[in-house]
Amino acid sequence: MEQVNDGKVFLMSKRFNKQSALDFGLYDQGNGMAVNPDDGSLWKKDQLFDFGWGAENGYYRVPMLDFPHLMDVVLLEGNDEDVFGAAAIVERQYPEELLEYCEKIILDPERVEDFEKISRVFRLDHTINRSPTRGKQYQEILSDTERWKKISDQAVRIRREHQNVLKKIRRIGVGDAVMGKKDKHRG
């Protein structure tokens, strides 16, 4: 993937260690906007990913990316600020699209690694309805919940398979696990 917007897309604190634009290396422009003095890019202040202790402070480069490009960032970027910044926006603005995306890729055996990463980033092994409920009928909410449960069940299954492979590798050694040899202790 080519770099999105010629570089970083998100700037995010870690355990609230940054708050002001200056903390992020930006110059405050007022109204939640800031500018990068190195390249003149415009950034907007936002609350980003919640790792369990509240949404982290951060900024995103303007203009905001659309859903497909945000998912590219989640899947293809190695920078945690970008990955979790994009995930925060997807969770907040595109939960229905995320559900459809997950339903699509769990059917594709060639996308197991993508689903595994999405599962880790979005914590899909936790069974919750991430879809909006406002204005929906009870049956629609129930249907969304069931769809998310199927995604969660798949995430748990893949995580367990991955853990079992790691246990086997540790138990019998990397070379034997790759070659499919039996555990020397079990015969």
Give tens-digit pLDDT for 88-130.
999 999 999 999 999 999 989 899 899 999 999 999 999 999 9
pLDDT digits (tens, 9 = 90+) for 51-82: 887 888 899 999 999 999 999 999 997 789 99
SS3 content of the chain, % helix, strand, coil (to 5): 50, 15, 35
Residue 50: per-residue pLDDT: 82
Q: What distance in Å separates the CA atoms of residue 87 and residue 117, rounded to the nearest whole number? A: 11
Position 1 scores a pLDDT of 30
Beta pairing partners, 10: 60
Mean pLDDT value of segment 15-38: 91
DSSP 56-117: EEEEEESSPP-HHHHHHHHHH---HHHHHHHHHHHHHH-HHHHHHHHHHHTT-GGGHHHHHH
Secondary structure class of 177 (helix, strand, coil): helix
> pLDDT tens digits, residue range 128-167?
999 999 999 999 999 999 999 999 999 999 888 877 776 7
